[in-house]
Structure 1
Amino acid sequence: MSFGDFCGWACAIIWVYNEQVQSQFEQAYGTRPVLALSDLFYALHGVFVLLLLWSQCVLGHPLWGFQDRRRHRVHRVTQIILSLFIIFLVFNWFRRDLEFQLLSFSINLAYFKIGISCVKYIPQVIHNWKRKSMYGSSKAQIILDYTGSMFAVMEVLVKNDKPVLEAIALNRGKYGLIVISMIFDTIFTGQFYKYSSEDLKLPLKEKSVV
């Protein structure tokens, strides 16, 4: 769901470049937000990769030369999320008199990204469970995801001079994404372990990508 990454990207832009939000954050929490250009590029990278995947799903035959010519439609879950986001925008529009309205809006964007990140992993978990196989999944991707999450945790702790729990509280959006990512990476690792014997029964050309 590239929509979630657009929300994360918008939040990063606001926190990195908007002086008003930085000032409001400092007034509310006593410190400046611990976000940098690296977070902005990370969010932009997520948007680019998911747009690339989207082009393969929707324009696979004409653009990429895939044999699959099925017509793709917007999934019901995506429709629900888009509807909720419109409601969220309308709700924030009518809260313009709030003292820290823009700060609140940017934080809620981060929460929206967390929610979408949680939802997007569930279909893959269910799909793996139903077919009892990890065919098409990559162990290297999970390992790199784990590594990236650990580096992100260390980055926030090094940059923030406050106690650990306070640092986490001040970076709920970033830590929320890290926690969701690590939870589902752990689930996928368990599925690799559980279903690896099933994958061995597949023909050689159908074995999982590692």
Structure 2
Amino acid sequence: MASWNSFPLEITYEVLGWAAFLSWSISFYPQVMLNFRRKSVVGLNFDFVVLNLTKHSSYLIYNACLYFSSAIQNQYYEKYGYEQMIPVAANDVAFSIHAVFLTAITLFQIVIYERGTQTVSKITIGIVSAVWFFAAVCVFIALPNQSWLWLISIFNSIQVFMTVIKYIPQAFMNFARKSTDGFSIGNILLDLSGGVASYGQMVVQSIDQDSWVNFYGNIGKTLLSLVSIFFDIIFICQHYILYPHKKAQVSSKLTEEGKEPLVKSSESDHPQSENV
């Protein structure tokens, strides 16, 4: 088994790892708190949450199996070499557990709070159903030869796929509404910090081992960081640059026709005199 060559780099690796864990973990709370304060989830895209739950569940399966299973670790060493280090750290497992729990809470908020006419799209339901059916088929394929590393790599690929597509509904919704109201920017800023720290952690490990195997040996973690950073930048541009003066104020009441809650632009926030 490989070991660290530099103690300072090992410490840096741990610090960056737990910094990513804290940033990513805390990033879930601004949205949960915003939903709780408003008693409404209008403005939060439901497809984003459902896809996110599938993504984090798949990532938890991958991280937990590779971190705790000696059989899977042996298959990893046989494929990439015994001089390599397992690319999953304790903070990765801790983050995944926490992410699944908080995403489930957000989904529960969608059920109990005001949501207007928003629903989970049939496309998302179809994607999620197809993904889990595909995963179940892969389990049966892996059983005869006990191809566990291959199997968890499937779950890692699933989380990469879900990471790529999960942000799209929210980004498009912000664009269509010309507003980021109801979607917490605090979540995005913390997510960006976590992505940068996670990528930095992998760079530190590669420098210490003088090998870049951990990047393609754990391609899921690599793409997770890069894709998250890419979309976080998009959301930050939407919030601070594209729609800074057009943040919508969403009424907590539905129209009499049961349509979407009324949305008033910030320009109408200033009261005007009325004729008596």
Fold conserved (TM > 0.5)?
Answer: yes
Cα distance in 1 for partners of 2:243, 2:117 equals 29
1:78 Cα deviation from its structure 2 partner: 2.5
2:90 paired residue number:
37
Q: How far off its partner does 1:71 sit?
A: 9.6
Q: Does 1:155 align with 2:206?
A: no
Is the counterpart of residue 144 in structure 1 residue 197 in structure 2?
no
Q: 1 CA distance for matches of 2:120 and 2:247? A: 30
Q: Give the Cα–Cα distance (whole angstroms) in 2 for the partners of residues 182 and 70 of structure 1.
A: 31
What code does the residue aligned with 2:136 have? L
What is the root-mean-square deviation in Å for CA atoms of aligned residues? Answer: 2.5
Of the three residues 197, 221, 234, the one matched with 1:187 is 234
Using the TM superposition, give the Cα deviation of residue 135 of structure 1 relative to its aligned residue in structure 2, in angstroms. Answer: 1.1
CA contact (8 A) 2:138 2:151 kept: no
Shift of 1:22: 0.5
- The counterpart of 2:153, out of the listed 84, 107, 112, is 107
Candidates 191, 196, 206, aligned match of 2:244: 196
Which amino acid is the alignment partner of residue 89 of structure 2? A
**CA displacement at 1:67 relative to structure 2:** 5.0
Residue identity matched to 2:236? T
Deviations along 1:109-139, one digit per CA (max 9) or x if unpaired, are: 0110111122221110110111111112333
Render the CA deviation track for 1:34-76: whole Å, top value 9, x for unaligned: 2122111100111011110011112x1xxxxx45587966743
Task: Please say if 1:17 is aligned against 2:63.
Answer: no
**CA positional deviation for 1:173:** 1.1
> Any unmatched runs of 5+ in structure 1?
61-65, 206-210
Distance 1:154 1:7 in 2: 23
User: Relative to 1, partners in 2 of residues 1:68 and 1:33: Cα closer, same or farther, differing over 3 Å?
Assistant: same
Identity %: 21
Instruction: Tell me how far apart the structure 1 counterparts of residues 69 and 102 of structure 2 sit (CA, whole Å).
Output: 26
CA distance in structure 1 between the aligned counterparts of 2:91 and 2:54, rounded to whole angstroms: 20
Amino acid at match of 1:125: A
Determine the structure 2 residue equivalent to 1:56. Answer: 109
- Structure having the higher helix fraction is 1
Assess, with a 3 A threshold, how the Cα gap between structure 1 residues 95 and 41 changes in structure 2: closer, same or farther. Answer: closer
Task: Give the secondary structure class of the aligned counterpart of 1:198.
Answer: coil
Tell me if 1:135 matches 2:181: yes
Letter in 2 for 1:189: I
1:7 touches 1:112 (CA, 8 Å); kept in 2?
Answer: yes
Matched, 1:84 2:131: yes
Normalising by structure 2, report the TM-score.
Answer: 0.64
Q: Distance in 2 between matches of 1:155 and 1:42?
A: 15
Native 8 Å contact 2:60 2:93 kept in 1: yes
Which TM-score applies when normalising by structure 1?
A: 0.83
- Partner AA of 2:160 in structure 1: I
| Distance change in 2, residues 1:69/1:81 (3 Å) | closer
Contact 2:195 2:225 in 1 (8 A): yes
